Chains A and B, each alone.
Chain A
Amino acid sequence: MLEILIHGAVSSAIYAMLAVGFTLIFGVARILNLAHGSFYALGAYGAYFFTSHLKLPLLPAALLAMAVVALFAIVVEKVLVRPMRRSQLAVLMITLAVALVVEQALFLTFGSEYRNVPAFVDAKFSIGGVDVGGQRLLALGASIALIALLWIFIQRTRLGSAILAVSQDPEAADYMGIPSDRIFSIVMGLSAALAAAAGVLAGPFLTVQPTMWLLPIVKAFAIVIVGGLGSIPGSILAALMLGYAETIVGYLISTSWTEIVSVLATLLMLIFRPAGIFGKRAAF
C-alpha cells in the first residue's frame, strides 16, 4: 500500500514535469511540440556527457544540461517553428522532424546502447518498511519544488503575468505592447529546461537511449488530454492520476498492462470529456 503511494508519487512527479512544459508552450504559443520528449532525452544525455566526458561534478553538469537544452529549444523555436506557426500541421511536422534528428544525432554520437546517468543520491531509504531509492525521492522533491517555482514565477512576477496575458488573449497582449515573440522564446526555454530536468532526475533509474523521447511524449499527450490542453493545474492533477493508475495496475495486474492505462484514459476522455477534467476547452 505504502509502496504504491510512494512509487506512484515518483512517477507522477516525473510525468508532471514533462506535461506541465508541454501544456505550457501549447497554452501560450499554440505550439504542439512533438520535440518535447527530445528535450527530456537531451537532458539525460547531457548529464551523462558532461559527467563522463567532461568530468564535471554532477550538479554543474545537470544545470549545464538544462541550460544547453533550453538554449537549443529557443533556437529550434526561433529558426524552425516560428516561420511555420500559421499552420498547426506544419508545426507538428517540423517538431516531429526535429525529434527524429535529435534521436539520430544521439544514436550517431552515443550509439544505441544504454547510458548511465549518475545519481545524486545512491543511498536507499526505508520508509515504513518500504525500500525506496534516494534518487527517486530526490526526483519527487525536486519536481515539486520546480513546478512550485514555475507556478510562483507565473503568478507573481511581471514576466509571468505577461506570459499569462499572452496565453489568454494573444491579440490583446499585442495591443498592450507585450512582445509575444520574446514570450514564446522564454516559455519554450522554460518548458525545455523542465523537461531536461526530468531527464536528469529520472535518468539514473530509467533507460537512457536514443528512442527514450517517444514514450514520454505519448504520456504527456495522454496527460494533457485528461487535464485539458493548455491547463497547468489540470495537467498536474492528470499526471497524478496517470502516475497512480499505472502504479496500481502494475502492482495489481502486471507491469505489462501499464501502457494500456494511458491509452484507455486518453480514449475515454476523448469520448466523454474532450475538454479535460476541468472542462476548459482550448480555443482552436
Chain B
Amino acid sequence: MFGKRIDYAGAVGFIVFMAALPLVFGGNYLIGVLTVSVIYGIWAVSWDFMSGLTGRENFGHSLFIGVGAYTAGFLNTAFGFGGWWSLPAAMVMAMLFAVIIGLPTLRLKGPYFALAMLSGAVIMQRLMLIFWEQTGGEEGINGIEPLIRSQLGFYYFALAALVLVTALLLALARSHWGLILRAIRGDEATCQAAGINVTFYKIASLVISAAFAGAGGAIYAHYQLQVSPQLFAVVTSITIITMVYVGGMASIYGPVGGAILLVLLTELLREFGEWRLMIYSCTLILILFFVPHGLIAPTWRRFRSKLRRAQ
C-alpha cells in the first residue's frame, strides 16, 4: 500500500535526521539536549500507548519513571550491579507498581485511576524525602555509572531504544490489541458485550506502558549519573502529557515528535528561566482549547493524504 510506504519513508527520514543532527552540528551541548529529548520521547510514547489509546489518563507517569530510575540507582550503587542490569530490573519494578495501582483502580469506572496515579507519584516523592537515610533524600543517589562512556554513543543508544519502543508499540497499537484498546475508549460496556475482558486489557497495557517508562527512567539515571526525588514530580507527568497532546493523542508516533519539539523549544525558552513552567502550563491550556487533536500527527496525516492524492 502506498500509504504504508509513505509512513516507512517518514520513519526512516526521521531516524536519519535525528542520527545526523549531532554529526552535522556537533557539540556536546546539542548531544545532551537531543539525548534528553529522545528519553522524553520514550516516556511520551509509553504514556500514549495506555492512556491515549484507552482514554484512561495517567496523571502519574512520573511514578514509573522514578521507580525505574531509583531501581537503576540502587542496583548500580548500593548493590554494585553492572549498568546493563538496570534496564530489565527497572522494567520489572515499574511493572510491579503498575499492577499494584492498576489492579484496584482500573476495574472501577470513574476517575479512580487518574487520581490514584497522581497520588501514587506524590506519595512516592514524599517517601523518597522521608526515608532519606535509605534514599539519599533531596540529594538522591549520586555516582551512578554511565552505560556508555561516549556522549555520542549514549545518544545513539537512547535513539535506538526510542525507535525500538516506538516500533513495538506502534505494531501493537495497529494490531487487534490496539483495536481493543481503542474500543475500550469508545465504550466499555459494548466491549464487555463483545466478550472482551476490559479490565485485563487495561491493566496489561498499563503494565506495558510502565515497563517502557521504567526503562526510560533507568536510561535517564545512567545519563544524568544521579537520581533525585524530583523525578517523581507531577510536573514531569504534565510535561509528558503536554508532549502527547502536542504530538496528537493515540497516534503513538506523534508524541515522539511532540517530545522532541518541546524539549528543543524549552531549550530556546531557557532565557525565560523561571517563566518556563508557566509558559508550559499555559501552552497546555491553549492546546486543550484550540487544538485538542494535536499538531504533529494530524499534520502528518494531511501531508500523507495529499501525497496519496498526488500519486
Contact = CB atoms under 8 A, between A and B. Distances in A.
B122 A270 contact: no
A274 B123 CA distance: 20
B122 A218 contact: yes
A229 interface: yes
A93 B241 contact: yes
Interface residues of B, number: 40
B118 A218 contact: yes
A256 B118 contact: no
Contacts of A149: none
Interface residues of A, number: 40
Given A92-B59, A96-B59, A256-B130, A101 B285 contact: yes
Interface in A100-115: 100-101, 104-105, 107-108
Contacts of A84: 288
SS of B interface (majority)? helix
Contacts of B119: 218, 221-222, 262-263, 266
Interface stretch (B104-112, B153-161, B199-207): B104-112
Contacts of A214: 122, 234
Contacts of A34: 59, 118
A225 interface: yes
A132 B119 CA distance: 31
A89 B55 contact: yes
Q: Which 10 A-B pairs have the closest CB atoms?
A: A270-B104, A104-B278, A100-B281, A218-B119, A256-B130, A284-B110, A271-B104, A101-B281, A97-B284, A221-B115
B29 interface: no
Given A92-B57, A108-B274, A259-B126, A80 B112 contact: no
A267 B117 CA distance: 11
Interface of A: 32, 34, 80, 83-84, 88-90, 92-94, 96-98, 100-101, 104-105, 107-108, 214-215, 217-218, 221-222, 225, 229, 256, 259-260, 262-263, 266-267, 270-271, 274, 282, 284
A284 B109 contact: yes
Contacts of A266: 116, 119
Contacts of B105: 270
B33 interface: no
B234 A97 contact: no
A271 B122 CA distance: 20
Contacts of A284: 109-110
A6 B244 CA distance: 47
B277 A104 contact: yes
Contacts of B11: none
Nearest to A93: B288
Contact of A100 (B118, B123, B238): B238
B307 to A, nearest CB: 33
